[in-house]
Amino acid sequence: MADSNTQKPNEVLKVVGGKPLKGSIKAAGAKNSITKLLVASLLSDKRCTFYNVPDIGDVEVTVALCKEIGMDVNWDKEAGVMEVQTKELRTSYIPQRFSGSNRIPILMIGALLSRTDEEIIVPTVGGCVLGPRPVDFHIAALEKLGAKIEYRRMKREGAYFAHAHDGLKGTVITLAFPSVGATENTILAGVTARGTTVIKNAAIEPEIVELILFLQKLGASITLDVDRTIHIQGTRRFYEVEHEVIPDRIEVASWGVAAIATKGRVFVEGAQHQNMLTFLNKIREVGGGFEVKNHGIEFFYDGPLQGGIHLETDVHPGFMTDWQQPFVVLLTQASGTSVVHETVYENRFGYTETLVEMGADITLFRQCLGGKECRFSSQAHAHSLIVNGPTPLNSAKITIPDLRAGFSYVMAAALAKEESIISGLTYLDRGYEKLDDKLMTLGADVTRTTDEECSHVSTEPSIEEEFAASFK
């Protein structure tokens, strides 16, 4: 597979479908854990060593971002081991080129507030386009801890300017929604705040638990109660840390549904049962096969799939929103009518248009289908869908709109008989380690090549230059 550094924007993945995926692959370390752990390590000047680090685009970007700030990084990609240490901050200005890359820059505020007297400048946050994805919960929580944060608009882009010149002081923060990012940002700031910080209605995703475990090793006194409440006792005394990154439960689910949909059998080494509970229940409900083994989970086709299910995404311990897209492709192969209600993001069904073009029978609805009303019930977002199956899928020329949609397109292409051509691979390479290698190991017919038709040279002036000029 092309390295994310060397990957060209005009690369395409050619997939000739129709073959069952069969074999064994190893789950990579979780993107949504290691990227946060790297930011958390910025709280201290001590060395941190991470194991099972995935070689993916989002880690590359996060490393580049942390290096910019002053982190020394020694990354043995073959061994998956990364040693980092930030003895001193070089700058607290996050360059604009990181703004569209992922959701990490905004976490720099929580991590750096106590490490610098300078203003922390964070450009508008990016990430996959799944709705407006505001950061109001982050800002409100950090301000309650004593941070002063101002959003300044530039000509084309804006940035957050933050400082805590009067120090951070622990307090009780109740999040309006158990947002993963807002919980992380508040935890990071809470670690160095004076006194006790209490976060109510916190996100409790396994990746948050990992962050808490890491921070305890780093020196924080931190607890997680069963009622979504986190208590943090502030500290400035830190220790060296060694931490193993948990396997990526989104990747595990992706391979699981791909194995079952293509009528194959795939053992995902490293898959952790305790983080897959709701997913496995849904697999069983549609008649998919799985066996939890000692060192992973095997997924297999176990006869015709039965639809007629109701799937609702939710925060942990519910069915993850990031499992939804590949699961919908699975539902196109199950007989009967299934209902999917997306309650985490208001706009995460855009990718289904391409599936419909490929032959899927999917209709979107603005209402909350399935019985429970969510916070989008009075809004005009198409956040429920009905899928009728089974339907054969036809090959297509596809452009990936976001990371998880990307995998669902690879799955759809693996189901179609003829050759599909998938572009927009940067999204996939952000989150799936050695995707092409793993597909080939499982017997898929895939080739990564350059599509000359997609080549273009941008004549746009640099936003970075404009941004830097606008406040210097």
The rounded distance, in Å, linking the Cα atoms of 313 and 330 is: 15
Smallest distance from the beta carbon of 33 to ligand EPU, in angstroms?
A: 8
Stretch that binds ligand EPU, among 131-139, 153-161, 217-225, 274-282 (CB under 6 A): 131-139
314 versus 419: smaller Cβ distance to ligand EPU: 314
CA 392 to chain centre: 29
The rounded distance, in Å, linking the Cα atoms of 105 and 82 is: 20
Smallest distance from the beta carbon of 364 to ligand EPU, in angstroms?
A: 17
Smallest distance from the beta carbon of 351 to ligand EPU, in angstroms?
A: 12
Going residue by residue from 168 to 207, which x/- string records binding to ligand EPU, judged by CB under 6 A? ---------x-xxxx--------------------x-x--
255 contacts ligand EPU (rule: CB under 6 A)? no
58 versus 298: smaller Cβ distance to ligand EPU: 58
265 contacts ligand EPU (rule: CB under 6 A)? no
133 contacts ligand EPU (rule: CB under 6 A)? yes
Question: Coil, helix or strand for 121?
Answer: strand
Residue-by-residue DSSP string for 371-398: S---TTTTS----EEEEEE-------EE
Identify the CA nearest to 439 among candidates 20, 80, 32.
Answer: 20
249 contacts ligand EPU (rule: CB under 6 A)? no
Range 415-454, binding ligand EPU (CB under 6 A): 431
Is 66 marked active-site? no
| CA contacts within 13 A on the Cβ side of 316 | 21
Stretch that binds ligand EPU, among 62-70, 125-133, 234-242, 382-390 (CB under 6 A): 125-133
278 contacts ligand EPU (rule: CB under 6 A)? no
Among residues 245, 404, 407, 415, the one that binds ligand EPU under rule CB under 6 A? 404
Going residue by residue from 313 to 342, which x/- string records binding to ligand EPU, judged by CB under 6 A? --------xx--------------------
Smallest distance from the beta carbon of 304 to ligand EPU, in angstroms?
A: 30
Range 337-376, binding ligand EPU (CB under 6 A): 344-345
106 versus 232: smaller Cβ distance to ligand EPU: 106
The rounded distance, in Å, linking the Cα atoms of 396 and 169 is: 55
DSSP conformational letter for 119: P
Q: Where do runs of H (alpha helix) occur along 286-424? A: 321-331, 352-357, 403-415
Smallest distance from the beta carbon of 250 to ligand EPU, in angstroms?
A: 6
Under 8 Å between Cβ of 121 and 436: no
Identify the CA nearest to 247 among candidates 1, 32, 2.
Answer: 32
Range 48-67, binding ligand EPU (CB under 6 A): none
Smallest distance from the beta carbon of 334 to ligand EPU, in angstroms?
A: 24
Smallest distance from the beta carbon of 263 to ligand EPU, in angstroms?
A: 27
57 versus 389: smaller Cβ distance to ligand EPU: 57
DSSP conformational letter for 454: G
Smallest distance from the beta carbon of 251 to ligand EPU, in angstroms?
A: 10
Name the token pair of 460. 């746009």
The rounded distance, in Å, linking the Cα atoms of 6 and 459 is: 21
Identify the CA nearest to 204 among candidates 233, 175, 242.
Answer: 175
128 contacts ligand EPU (rule: CB under 6 A)? yes
Q: Which of 128, 368, 374, 454 is catalytic?
A: 128
The b/e string for 108-124 (b: 16+ C-beta within 10 A; e otherwise) is bbbbbbbbbeebbbbbb
26 - beta bridge partners?
269
Which residues, 6+ apart, have CB-to-CB distance to 38 below 8 Å? 50, 59, 62, 63, 66, 71, 84
Residue 211, φ and ψ in degrees, nearest 5? -60, -40
55 versus 205: smaller Cβ distance to ligand EPU: 205
Question: Coil, helix or strand for 29?
Answer: strand
Question: What are the residues binding ligand EPU (CB under 6 A)?
Answer: 32, 103, 128, 131, 133-138, 177, 179-182, 203, 205, 321-322, 344-345, 403-404, 431
- The residues assigned a catalytic role are 128
